Amino acid sequence: MNKIWLIIQREYLSRVKKKSFLVMTFLVPVLFIGVFGLGGYLVANQNEFGDKKTVQVVDESGMFANKLRNGNNIEYSYSTQSYAAEKAAFAKSGRTYLLHIPASLTDVQLYSEKKASALTIQNIETELSDVAQTSRLLTAGIDTAMLTKARKPISVEARQITETGEKDAQTYVAYAIGFISAMLIYMSLLIYGSQVMRGVIEEKVSRVVEVIISSVKPFQLMMGKIIGIGLVGLTQFVLWITLSLILSTAAGTLFVHNTQPAPVQMAQMHGVTTPGTAIAATGQAPDNNMGKIMQSLDSIPVTYTICCFLFYFLFGYMLYSAVFALVGSAVDNETETQQFMLPITLPLVFTLIISMNFVIHNPDSSLSVWLSMIPFTSPIAMMMRIPFGVPAWQLALSALFLVLGFLLTTWVASRIYRVGILMYGKKASYKEIVKWFRYNE
Amino acid sequence: MISIRNIVKQYSGHRALDDVSIEIEQGKVFGLLGPNGAGKTSLIRIINQITAPDSGEVLMNGQKLGQEHISRIGYLPEERGLYKKMEIGEQILYFAQLKGLSKADARARAKYWFEKMEITGWWNKKVEDLSKGMQQKVQFVSTVLHEPELLILDEPFTGFDPVNAELIKNEILELNKKGATIIFSTHRMESVEELCDSIALLNLSHKILDGKMKDIRNNNRTGTYILKYEGAALVPSATQPFTIVSDNEFDGGR
């Protein structure tokens, strides 16, 4: 036990003392915020950054002339010529699109030199439908004032009723937290897991392992390395969380007292329909929403979420890093690892994609529940579910499975590791590895 | 000191050691000889408890090998290994602590050995900044720092220039004089011949010969001598009757 502690110490200190650790600790949050902020900023300011698209409208119905509103980077102009003439002249016109609206309003066509983007088509469709609807209602004898009144949007506020009372559901905040924590778990499992692998390879290649194995058991060396690097990760997360809590508290006090709605951005928010951009938009519109988010953070159990995150990071990491250590012990250099990497990264990538596209919308579906139970997928899937509320028994069961999965994986990995680290120059195949597993001692 | 009894070690495909038994006496210098792939490293790994034999046992001072023996053995592997990015002093302390030394003890002894090896002032250097010979010295220090009763040295002189090889050799002999039992493992017989009290010869997983150096020399005398001659070609004649077994000629001297 004393020796494993020495190994943990060395693995931990040799990494924490590096300059790159300090740089990572402060740079990653900045980069993270930068990437999300930039993404959100670009989405919010598409009109400025996107390329202008000009649409020449040939309107044979007479319903749309000068009524289509420019916006979303689309500018409409109206043709006085016939459709055939416009079509013939289109290639040289310099316009992006040619929109043909027949009198019947069926079979509307959009021509362009390059393929039209799906978003543009959607925008034009919405605009056309909108104008057509208004026009039809006016024809039916409804006056403009009435129409404006009828068109007034209704917003829905999501509230949760639980045994302890009711509260704001804060769906968007749950989205954001689920999304970010799943992403963080995914990244950190890969980053720290491959650090373990590289550490094992380093010891094997430099033959340090033979010196150490004559003093400690291979299992102690493997666990010492895994725990040491895990603590590095934990330190980094605790620093990140502390930093961001300080920052957000500071931001909170600043914005809660200063919540003036910014109408322009509010208007843009309505156009956003896809969930991915919605999250980005929630994050990027700080002027009017930051205060709300800060208030709503109170409604999300922060400590509970952080504890869950640290638990799933730690055990998810230990589970995966045991497999990473196994791979490291089986190869002679880093380039050889590739054939073994796919089976490790596949479940991770798979879970992340399913989580971001399915679990986040259906956190209580049976697929989501299953994914959050299986040890290899649960760290990511469960973190995606937790902000939406998970029954205690599911959380307990998932945690239990994860710990059991970790124990089993470590046992298997260590049996292979102890043989692999002493094998030089032998090309490891899956068959060979199974053989190593069966060796007695 | 060490009794190796009927050791068998099987790897997938081949048998690395087949019923090998060797006795190593307390306080002696023992040579474990044999060509590459004979099973020397496999045997050494078993004595170091890095791997376990499939059958047979190893006794140290009459006791079956166990955890408590780890701190009493010093092992210099053939493939030397140090952490490249770690400072030398730190590294020496780390290895010594893994062998059960306290940090303070390890520090004091390291100072002593650094002076002896003429490497004082390297304490804060990183291994990657050193030449190979210098790394060997560091590795040697980390092998002997915990004052092991048994020193196992696998090809200890490779990588050293003649001056430093001599320095290391003298240190080893001095440790032997102070009571340490030494096992040399090598495929280069001539490098240890003068040092060894007894030897064992391994070939193709079997022990083919062992005993005291002196006895082996005497018992294996066949009266055949290699004669090297410099000068004009010799031709046997009636007055000078001899047969030429090998007549390699080398131009330009020896």
Per-residue pLDDT of chain B (254 residues; tens, 9 = 90+): 899 999 998 887 788 899 999 999 999 999 999 888 888 989 999 998 888 888 999 999 999 988 888 889 999 988 778 998 899 999 999 999 999 899 999 999 999 999 988 888 889 999 889 888 888 889 999 999 999 999 999 988 887 888 888 888 999 999 999 999 999 998 887 777 788 899 999 998 899 888 898 888 888 777 777 777 777 777 777 777 777 776 666 655 44
Kindly determine whether residue A207 and residue B80, on different chains, have CB atoms separated by under 8 Å.
Answer: yes
Is the pLDDT at A302 greater than 60, yes or no? yes
Three-state SS at B75? strand
Residue A382's contacts (CB-CB under 8 Å, 6 or more residues apart) are A308, A312, A372, A390, A395, A398
Q: Compare CB distances from B83 to A3, A206, A432 and report the shortest one's residue.
A: A206
Give chain A's mean pLDDT.
82
Q: Which of A6, A206, A210 sits opposite B98 (nearest CB)?
A: A6
Q: What is the pLDDT of residue A377?
A: 94
Instruction: Give the whole-angstrom CA distance, residue A361 versus residue A171.
Output: 10
Interchain contact, A209 vs B51, CB within 8 Å? no
Neighbours of A31 (CB within 10 A): 11
Smallest Cβ distance to A14: which of B81, B86, B142? B86
* Per-residue confidence band for A20, with pLDDT thresholds at 50, 70 and 90: confident
Preferred mutation among B14, B48, B51 to probe A, highest tally of A CBs within 10 A: B51
Whether residues B98 and A213 touch (CB distance < 8 A) is answered with: no
Q: Using the structure block, give the residue that is written with the tokens 């951005």.
A: A265
Query: Residue A164, Cβ neighbours under 10 Å: how many?
Result: 6
Q: Pick from A6, A207, A214: which is nearest to B48 by CB?
A: A214
Distance of alpha carbon A265 from alpha carbon A46, whole angstroms: 12
Question: Which of A6, A209, A214 shows the shortest C-beta gap to B97?
Answer: A6
Q: For residue B54, is it within any domain?
A: yes
Give B78→chain A minimum CA distance, Å: 9
- Residue identified by tokens 């004559």 is A214
Q: Cβ(B48)–Cβ(B73) under 8 Å?
A: yes
Burial of B196 (C-beta count, 10 Å sphere; 0-12/13-18/19+): buried
The rounded distance, in Å, linking the Cα atoms of A151 and A154 is: 9
pLDDT band for A264, please (50, 70, 90 cuts): very low
Query: What is d(CA B144, CA B113) in angstroms, rounded to the nearest whole number?
Result: 9
Chain A residues interacting with chain B (CB cutoff of 8 angstroms)? 3, 6-7, 10, 14, 202-203, 206-216, 422, 424, 432, 435, 440-441
d(CA B152, CA B40): 11
**A7 contact residues in B (CB cutoff 8 A):** 98
Bridge partners, B59 (sequence order): B3, B64
Residue-wise pLDDT tens digits, A405-416: 999 999 999 999
Whether the predicted pLDDT of A71 surpasses 80: no
Tell me how far apart the 2 most distant CA atoms of chain A are, in Å.
Answer: 94
Q: Is the pLDDT of residue A394 over 60?
A: yes
User: If you average pLDDT over each of A63-72, A289-298, A332-341, which comes out highest?
Assistant: A332-341
Q: Which helix (H) or strand (E) holds A70?
A: none
Q: What are the structural domain ranges in chain A?
A: 2-42+169-438, 51-151
* Cβ within 8 Å, pair A211-B77: yes
- Among A206, A422, A440, beta carbon nearest to B84: A206
CA distances A109 to A87, A92, A99, A121, A133, Å, are: 11, 19, 6, 10, 19
Backbone phi and psi for residue A62, each to the nearest 5 degrees, phi listed first: 75, 10
Given this model, what pLDDT does residue B252 score? 54
Q: In A332-372, which ranges are continuous DSSP H helix?
A: 338-354, 366-371
Chain B residue at shortest CA distance from A221 = B98
Q: In the Cβ-directed half-sphere of B220, how many Cα atoms lie within 13 Å? A: 9
pLDDT tens-place string over residues A117-175? 888 888 888 888 888 888 888 888 888 788 888 778 888 887 877 776 776 667 778 88
> Which residue range(s) make up the domain with B192?
2-84+148-219
CA A320 – CA A341 distance, rounded (Å) = 11
**Confidence band for A243, pLDDT divided at 50, 70 and 90:** confident
At residue A265, the pLDDT reads 42
Token reading at A263: 């109408």
| CA B233 and chain centroid, separation | 42
**Chain A, nearest residue to B69 by Cα:** A215
Q: What is the CATH number of the domain that holds B207?
A: 3.40.50.300
Look at chain B and report how many structural domains it folds into: 1
The pLDDT, as a whole number, for residue A266 is 41
Token pair for B62: 């009459």
Average pLDDT over residues A89-104: 82
For A51-151, CATH gives 3.40.190.10
Could you tell me which residues come within 8 angstroms of residue A209 by beta carbon, excluding any fewer than 6 positions away? A203, A221, A421, A422, B81
The pLDDT of residue A269: 42
Residue A226's pLDDT band (boundaries 50, 70, 90)? Answer: very high
Cβ pair A441:B83 closer than 8 A: no
> Which residue's entry shows tokens 């004669």?
B227
Strand boundaries in chain B, DSSP class E: 2-11, 14-24, 29-33, 55-60, 63-64, 73-76, 150-154, 181-186, 198-203, 206-212
Pairwise CB contact (< 8 Å): B98 & A3:
yes
In chain A, residues with a C-beta closer than 8 Å to the C-beta of B80 are 207
pLDDT of residue A37: 77
The residue count of chain A comes to 441
Nearest-Cα distance to chain B for A120, in Å, is: 55
Work out the number of other CB atoms within 10 angstroms of the CB of residue A264. Answer: 11
